[in-house]
Amino acid sequence: MSRPLDVIIFGATGDTGSAACRLLYHHSSKFHIQKWAPAARNLTKLQRQVLQPILSASPSGGAQWNTPIQADSNDLPSLINMCRQTKVVVACAGPYSKYGEKVIAACIISGTHYVDVTGEVDWVNAMKKRYNNEAQSKGVSIVSFCGYDSIPMDMSAWLIANTFKERKDSAVLIETFATSATKGGGGVPTGTINTVLTMVNQIRYKFSFGLLGTAPPVHEKVNQISNQLQVGGIPLLTKRVQKAVKRDAIVNNKRFVSNLPQSKVWSTPHFMASINVPIVHATAEAEGFVDFEYHERALDGGRKAWEKAPT
């Protein structure tokens, strides 16, 4: 497609969006990105908190961005205007169940590819059911789960399963392990905290029958606004995936100890396992892998735990 920009980072004032801007400022040429721009609702905040600090730290150390773009996740026309300027939108504004749907719709309407870093499985499932057919008819790729939350585990499981498949075999059990220098797993960014709080609020209302106040606002369906999109698609969480997730969750929510002959290395469920287990199984189904058990663990004791294991 002929567009003035290759990539737009939407939600550039957040933790992930600002990190993406720094990455492209210093390394865009490595990704064959020639022209890119940041986008946000508040351009003053974007300039003051993100762009000026980048230039101050490295005034001549990267590829300058194009003119920042004003776009609001609640303003569909502004999002369409943003999307029509680029080949790809990287959406970094969450929680996505609150701020994400209009961005997807704007990308489909504009014929622009979409990438996000969400870990909200139920939301992605709903978006696929709603917009999959329309995205396919427009030739638009909608790619979710592209953040640290999911990529290391999903890609690791895919590489293992695909290696077996290439050798005319199939994986039976895949276990991945996450760790930091001193403990299992990693830190939780602000966006993830906000997403968790949003989900808790929705669950709280669902099971209180309204006794705990008013319900969280329901994001308006974009097809009712634009009347340009046909609704319909295949869900991400098919019955087969749901069955596999339920099976693996029972086993994964335990504390494991290795059977290494010279030491014991303990692991516990990784805090992102409840999100990543369905993602891994959805990918496996889409890729045609034979069903395998999947466990996602965090090493007790961090990286030093590996030192206990014999080489």
Q: Where are the domains of the chain?
A: 5-143, 151-186+234-307
Q: Give one DSSP letter per residue of 119-145, joined into a string.
A: --HHHHHHHHHHHHHHHHHHT--EE--
For 5-143, CATH number?
3.40.50.720
Q: Which residue has 């003053």 as its token pair?
A: 44
Reported in sequence order, the residue ranges of 144-239 that DSSP labels E, i.e. its strands, are 173-178
- As a whole number of angstroms, the distance between CA 14 and CA 8 comes to 14
What's phi and psi for 258, nearest 5 deg? -70, 160
What average pLDDT does range 254-265 have in this prediction? 71
- Contact at 8 Å (CB) between 276 and 247? no
Q: Which pTM was predicted?
A: 0.84
Taking every pair of Cα atoms in the chain, the longest distance, rounded to a whole number of angstroms, is 65
The more confident residue out of 256 and 281 is: 281
Q: How many CA atoms lie within 13 A of 154 on its CB side?
A: 23
Beta bridge partners of 8: 37, 89
Provide the pLDDT for residue 180: 75
Residues 6+ apart with CB under 8 A from 66: 4, 5, 35, 36, 37
Buried/exposed code over 174-208 (b: 16+ C-beta within 10 A; e: otherwise): bebbbbeeeebbbeebebbeebeebbeeeeebeee
Q: Is the pLDDT of residue 204 over 70?
A: no
- What is the pairing mode between strands 266-269 and 293-299? antiparallel
Q: Which residue has 């309407």 as its token pair?
A: 109
- As a whole number of angstroms, the distance between CA 41 and CA 279 comes to 30
User: Nearest CA to 33 among 67, 74, 64, 72?
Assistant: 64
What average pLDDT does range 192-197 have in this prediction? 57
Q: Is the pLDDT of residue 306 over 70?
A: no
What's phi and psi for 193, nearest 5 deg? -60, -45
- As a whole number of angstroms, the distance between CA 85 and CA 285 comes to 34
- As a whole number of angstroms, the distance between CA 208 and CA 198 comes to 16
Provide the pLDDT for residue 57: 94
Quickly state the pLDDT bin for 270 (edges 50, 70, 90): confident
Q: Is the pLDDT of residue 17 over 90?
A: yes
Q: Is the pLDDT of residue 258 over 60?
A: yes
- As a whole number of angstroms, the distance between CA 286 and CA 146 comes to 16
Q: Is the pLDDT of residue 177 over 90?
A: no
Provide the pLDDT for residue 254: 84
The dihedral of CA 51, 56, 58, 60: what is its sign? Answer: positive
- As a whole number of angstroms, the distance between CA 301 and CA 179 comes to 8
- Contact at 8 Å (CB) between 132 and 105? no
Instruction: For residue range 78-93, list pLDDT tens digits in order.
Output: 999 999 999 999 999 9
Quickly state the pLDDT bin for 160 (edges 50, 70, 90): very high
- As a whole number of angstroms, the distance between CA 40 and CA 42 comes to 6
- Contact at 8 Å (CB) between 12 and 40? yes
Percent of the chain, pLDDT > 90? 62
DSSP secondary structure code for residue 28 in this structure? G
